[in-house]
Amino acid sequence: MQPDPSETFSWRQVAVPVYGPTLLVSIGAGAILPLVALSARDLGASVGVAALVVAMLGLGQLVGDLPAGALAARIGERWALIIACLVDVGALIGAYLSPNVAVLAAAVFVAGLSNAVFGLARQAYLTAAIPLRIRARAMSTLGGTFRIGSFLGPFVGAIIVARVNIASAYVFAAAMSLAAAGLAALLPDLPEHTARRDLTSSAVARPSVLSVLAQHRRTLLTLGTGVLLLSAARATRQAIVPLWAEAQGIDAATTSVIFGISAGVDMLLFYPGGAIMDRYGRAAVAVPAMITLGLGFVLLPFTHTALGVGAIACLMGLGNGISSGVVMTLGADAAPVEGRSQFLGGWRLCADVGNALGPLAIGGITAIATLGLASAVMGVVTWLGSGWLARNVAVRSQR
């Protein structure tokens, strides 16, 4: 029987080794993400091929989600975190040493695989270690930590590029991942994995990923669909705002400032969002967040100045920020004790499919219509998604 986390939980024991690796890895990732396409171009890639190289990161995450669940179930979340960080170090060094575009693409793909394992392991660990009464705050803080690192990383990367070169940013990111592995090693093992090591291997019956997903297919098809739509809205926000700004003749520097201000709004709201979820339920944040994002999509086509685009970007940052950690919290609520990591692999796959589909949908609609219509359609889809979540979160939020 799994011990009640509330009886053994200590913030002091897990705060640095849980949140520290996320901060370090996200700073490193933030430093190199804007540079991957430039590295590909330096190696002779066309613009289209460079974009494909960037997409390999997301593809790696999609491919890695389900195997990540199986790996964490077999070796435990702590070791999965450590291994993910070390694999990321290897991938980043591979990117640094890349002699051609093919090697760079392979390195970025492996980095995506390690991201999948890292993301799942940290979520699964907190799901087991954090008492239910503060679960949403813990998850939203994790999401907020990632946002802070992603905000700081590009500035660090810019300094490195200005003083050394683009390739050196990969070495910095590798150092961040190596340090993250060291912090993750300080995590205490979860009681269930300590107990598992005391059993003979024949006595341990681990359910397969497919059997867990089949057993919980109803949850994944209902609540998971809502999470897919939420993730699609979040990812689309990041793609459509700069595209619309460019269409209105707003220069790149001003667009960067708009994004920076929006990110600031985003970062300020992660803890209040978690507190609201813990007190009033998950729907109290998930539904308003999607309504706010949908409103931003619908209003964006009516803006034609930097001030107008900036205001809508901040509105969408508000919706995105307050929903920090909601996907992980809903996954933690829905996850079974037996087969938790395997289930969360499927859960994260739902979210990552949404991350990929959102921008693809914008591209598809824009190919046959206008960017403004694509934004409006995404707004309506997001509002429909809010209704879907309102219907399906209510049951789980009472767990």
In this prediction, residue 3 carries a pLDDT of 47
**Domain match, 231 and 365 both:** yes
Burial class (CB in 10 A: 0-12, 13-18, 19+), 100: exposed
**Domain match, 311 and 378 both:** yes
- Written as six digits, the tokens of 362 are 């914008």
**Domain match, 179 and 70 both:** yes
In this prediction, residue 202 carries a pLDDT of 42
Burial class (CB in 10 A: 0-12, 13-18, 19+), 204: exposed
Which residues constitute the domain of residue 182? Answer: 12-187
- Who contacts 259 (Cβ-Cβ below 8 Å, separation ≥6)? 241, 242, 313
Report which of 234, 255, 243, 249 is spatially closest to residue 372, judged by C-alpha positions. 243
In this prediction, residue 246 carries a pLDDT of 84
Q: Is residue 27 domain-resident? A: yes
In this prediction, residue 199 carries a pLDDT of 42
Q: Residue 105: which CATH number?
A: 1.20.1250.20
In this prediction, residue 192 carries a pLDDT of 57
**Domain match, 55 and 158 both:** yes
Q: Is residue 312 domain-resident? A: yes
pTM value is: 0.85
Tokens 């309506």 correspond to 380
DSSP assignment of 18-50, as one string? HHHHHHHHHHHHHHHGGGHHHHHHHTT--HHHH
- Written as six digits, the tokens of 283 are 């729907």
Instruction: State the 10-residue block means of pLDDT for the chain, 399 residues long.
Output: 50 78 93 85 84 87 92 91 96 94 95 94 88 88 88 86 87 96 86 48 66 90 92 87 86 78 84 90 91 95 93 92 90 88 92 87 84 92 92 60
Last residue of a domain, one of 132, 156, 187: 187
**Domain match, 176 and 221 both:** no
Q: Is residue 198 domain-resident? A: no
Q: Is residue 347 domain-resident? A: yes
**Domain match, 378 and 247 both:** yes
**Domain match, 218 and 182 both:** no
Cα(172)–Cα(31) distance, integer angstroms: 8
**Domain match, 232 and 103 both:** no
- Which whole-number Å values give the CA distances from 229 to 54, 264, 290, in the listed order? 23, 24, 9
DSSP 203: G
Q: Is residue 2 domain-resident? A: no
**Domain match, 335 and 392 both:** yes
Last residue of a domain, one of 125, 154, 187: 187
Report the amino acid identity of residue 187.
L
Are 22 and 153 spatial neighbours (Cβ–Cβ below 8 Å)? no
In this prediction, residue 193 carries a pLDDT of 53
C-beta neighbour count of 42 within 10 angstroms = 16
**Domain match, 281 and 154 both:** no
Are 126 and 142 spatial neighbours (Cβ–Cβ below 8 Å)? yes
Burial class (CB in 10 A: 0-12, 13-18, 19+), 200: exposed
Burial pattern 157-178, b for ≥16 Cβ within 10 A else e, equals: beebbeeeebbebbbbbbebbb
**Domain match, 231 and 133 both:** no
Cα(374)–Cα(364) distance, integer angstroms: 9
Last residue of a domain, one of 187, 221, 251: 187
The interaxial angle of helices 283-299 and 371-396, nearest 10 deg, is: 170
Q: Is residue 196 domain-resident? A: no
Q: Is residue 192 domain-resident? A: no
Q: Is residue 38 domain-resident? A: yes
**Domain match, 319 and 224 both:** yes
In this prediction, residue 205 carries a pLDDT of 64
The total domain count for the chain is 2
C-beta neighbour count of 217 within 10 angstroms = 12
In this prediction, residue 105 carries a pLDDT of 94
